[in-house]
Structure 1
Amino acid sequence: MRLILRYLCQGMTPVPITNISPVRRYLSWENEQRCRGLLEASKNRHKQEDVSAAVLVSLCSVAGEPAILYTLRSSTLSGVHKGEVSFPGGKCDDSDRDIVATALRETREELGLHLGEDCVWGIMRPLPDRTKIMVVPVLANLGPLEQLILKPNPQEVEAVFTLSISHLLKEQNQGYTHFCKNGVYSYTMPVFPRGPHRVWGLTAIITELTLELLAPGKYQRRTRVVGRH
């Protein structure tokens, strides 16, 4: 665990408690209550019937800095998502009481973390992955990462890393990929290219939605319609 934390904290300098950055407010009690209220108000607008999987969008703090925790899926796994950056998660099990239980169970199986529902802020809108499976992001705050004991399952997780909110909010760390079909613009996907591993695909979309929720006005999508490539 010491080796993991050293890797996670690399490049992050502790800030004196008397010099608290406004960025730390993203995990404040006030911001948590605002986010919980927004997620509660919106959850009934999203159909859950076709949901097949859940991921835990894991907020945390590293050396006092608000961050998001990611995993790198093992390259030995089968399926299209092997070797990709992801959030802990997976398919719903018949024994799961609800979608939150799925996200917490998968996090326990992947990272060895036994989390209670009190850490969950709410559920975000379901999103399709590229295999058309509907995935629900469950937003939670794990607290200070230094106080956690991570035991990644090597059969599922190749690496664990964090990106600070301040890093993700900088424009130079944000990017977009435009996709065309038959030479005509089709859609745009966000990507966060700088860090230990590139964050893209569904994980990048969920990251973008999380930043919009946590930091309204600080993060704005820069999607734009483009013509032919």
Structure 2
Amino acid sequence: MLPDCLSAEEERRCRQLLAGTTARLRSRPATAAVLVPLCLVRGVPALLYTLRSRRLVGRHKGDVSFPGGKCDPTDKDVIQTALRETQEELGLEVTKEQVWGVLQPVYDRGKATIVPVLANVGPLDLQSLRPNPEEVDEVFELALAHLLQTQNQGYTHFCQGGHFHYTLPVFLHGPHRVWGLTAIITAFALKLMAPGIYQPCVALPELPRG
């Protein structure tokens, strides 16, 4: 049974588990930060995703992602980066009080460090968002119950030079396939919030213990 991920008790548990990682990483230099927005859509707990604009330059145009972007020298820490980028991309104001903590960083092919910041943004009407068309083509949510169903989980093998290199999780059967670094971050969030339910089909780094 899916726990009440937005209850005060669950929030305390998650904040405590993330406290060490948050203290260690929030002010450490990073390339970019993303917000992992936990929300209620029509009363259902969900994660909020964006579809990056196809007009952007670079490999990640048209990809599913969490709101976020490069750290600015004026940002106090990675939390401020994630909140600022979310406001710029979606017109969504999220306060530091809504942030539960920092998840494990992920690394792209160029070894750049991307730090995920988990926050409860509360009840959300997607129609009220104002996505920046220069950066975002679409905004959509995936219910936690959907993400936790094994039939919606898979994995992708990546090869390099004709040989097996590594395996990453993928989440299926939503409006868009969630894969790559966004799928890894999604898996981190699910493992934190539903540890007795989510059994990833690929190895993930261990979460801190309380």
With the length of structure 1 as denominator, give the TM-score of the two structures: 0.83
- Which digits, 9 at most, give the CA deviation of each residue in 1:132-166, with x for residues without a partner? 21000000011011398311000000000000000
Give 1:64 shift. Answer: 1.0
Question: What are the within-5 Å matches in structure 2 for residues 1-229 of structure 1?
Answer: 23=2, 25-44=4-23, 49-146=28-125, 149-223=128-202
Which range moves more in the overlay, 132-141 or 49-58? 49-58
CA distance in 1, matches of 2:166, 2:108: 15
CA distance in 2, matches of 1:155, 1:223: 35
- The Cα RMSD (Å) is 1.9
Distance of aligned partners of 1:112 and 1:46 in 2 relative to their CA distance in 1, 3 Å threshold: closer
Give 1:42 shift. Answer: 3.2
Which structure exhibits the higher relative contact order, with contacts defined as CA atoms closer than 8 Å and separated by 6 or more residues? Answer: 2
Match of 1:227 in 2: none
With the length of structure 2 as denominator, give the TM-score of the two structures: 0.90
CA distance in 1, matches of 2:92, 2:78: 17
CA distance in 1, matches of 2:100, 2:184: 19
CA distance in 2, matches of 1:148, 1:35: 29
CA distance in 2, matches of 1:45, 1:118: 18
- Which digits, 9 at most, give the CA deviation of each residue in 1:110-153, with x for residues without a partner? 00112211110001121112332100000001101139831100
**Counterpart of 2:117 in 1: which secondary structure?**
strand
Give 1:103 shift. Answer: 0.3
CA distance in 2, matches of 1:47, 1:140: 14
CA distance in 1, matches of 2:132, 2:162: 43
CA distance in 1, matches of 2:93, 2:27: 25
Q: Which letter maps to 2:201?
A: R
Aligned residues: 203
Q: Which has the larger radius of gyration?
A: 1
Task: Indicate the percent of aligned positions where both proteins have the same amino acid.
Answer: 58
Q: Gapped runs of 5+ residues in structure 1?
A: 1-21, 225-229
CA distance in 2, matches of 1:99, 1:45: 11
Q: Gapped runs of 5+ residues in structure 2?
A: 204-210
